[in-house]
Structure 1
């Protein structure tokens, strides 16, 4: 059984990142951590606009497109919750431990300093396992 180290974040796909940032700042007193726009000509996982906020004691990420969606690793996703993220010490070990119990919708993939994998719960909610790489 995989025991995550902690619940890290919720990720949302939104039609307008600026509007989402304003809503979570103004309505829930969120603190903006970063807001990045894709470089001109960017493609793949880096061709997304996103912002990170602290809302209460958790991270909230808002994207115009999920990085794994922009990279072509999954089909286009609707607006709304993209996934819940849990940190683990070793994504590959967690995947090996879970592979008989769940279907992975994205096998372990490296994005910058993270290794991530996604599976779905019985209702289809995506769950991200993420490992910080050194």
Structure 2
């Protein structure tokens, strides 16, 4: 996969200014008509000074990346019965039921799914920007049948597109079942967007990840985050935000919480919940372009 470096817009200006200042300090003024000896000395000096500048630039860039080092954290679903939902997902997809703070949750390898109780009318994920979640299983048809026997809605298979099935869990979240032998278990979250390229650029600039096409899926833009993907697919019409939807939000964690908050503020990102203390860590909620609710979590591990 082609690696896409995470941009840090707040630091770019600082880096440019720093290098510009260092450049002036190192190079100084240039004589109008230097002698041959002066030109030879200056040529040697140029190599030395260029090496210094490059070294300083690498150091500053390394500081930039480490200051906002990030990792995928979780997907959070809204359900009417959090304990039942955790047991249901763990049973069908090989997860481990746990607690994450006050929330019932399930670990699927390194991927965490949390559940919150719903208040008022909660619509399903289908038709929203967070269209569905997905699991990779060996027996797609067998898993679809098992889900159908345990409260999920499972539409008929699409014969024109074999190899995967869709289901809707008992609480309204759409699930894709696919057979990807390279990545089993929790596989991806799919976003719908009228501007998929811009969406991918925004997520990689803020959350890093490796962006590429996924196998032979021409219509899918994929970003790899650890042991899962974020898929982005083009929508021909505007889609609803995650507000009052069964996929409530996505979450990423950051080592330097203050740095990412400063960066997001500088980018003009909308804050749904301002930074605040939650237990032993800081957190905040933002809304992405397009309307995905995202939790920013301080990594205190």
Whether TM exceeds 0.5 here: the answer is yes
User: What secondary structure is seen at the aligned counterpart in 2 of 1:99?
Assistant: helix
Q: Look up the match of 1:5.
A: 70
**Does 2:96 match 1:31?**
yes
Unaligned runs of 5+ in 2: 1-7, 9-64, 120-242
Q: Look up the match of 2:80.
A: 15
Listed one character per residue, the Cα deviations across residues 68-103 of structure 1 (whole Å, up to 9, x for unaligned) are xxxxxxxxx625122111111222221111113211
Superposed, which structure 2 residues align to 1:62-81 within 5 Å?
62-64=115-117, 78-81=244-247
**Does 2:227 match 1:96?**
no
Residue 18 (structure 1) shift: 2.4
* 1:91–1:117 CA contact under 8 A, matched in 2: no
Residue 34 (structure 1) shift: 2.5
Once residues 81 and 97 of structure 1 are traced to their aligned partners in structure 2, the CA distance between those partners, rounded to angstroms, is 26
* 2:255–2:300 CA contact under 8 A, matched in 1: no
* 2:94–2:108 CA contact under 8 A, matched in 1: yes
Listed one character per residue, the Cα deviations across residues 19-74 of structure 1 (whole Å, up to 9, x for unaligned) are 211221121111012388xxxxxxxxxxxx621210232011111159xxxxxxxx
**Does 2:87 match 1:87?**
no
Residue 133 (structure 1) shift: 4.7
Unaligned runs of 5+ in 1: 37-48, 67-76
Structure (1/2) with the larger strand percentage: 1
Q: Which has the larger radius of gyration?
A: 2
Listed one character per residue, the Cα deviations across residues 98-121 of structure 1 (whole Å, up to 9, x for unaligned) are 113211111111110120011111
Once residues 72 and 245 of structure 2 are traced to their aligned partners in structure 1, the CA distance between those partners, rounded to angstroms, is 22
Structure (1/2) with the larger helix percentage: 2
When the two structures are aligned, how many residues end up with a matched partner?
A: 112
Moved beyond 3 Å, runs of 4+: none
RMSD across aligned C-alpha pairs, in angstroms?
2.5
* 1:52–1:59 CA contact under 8 A, matched in 2: yes
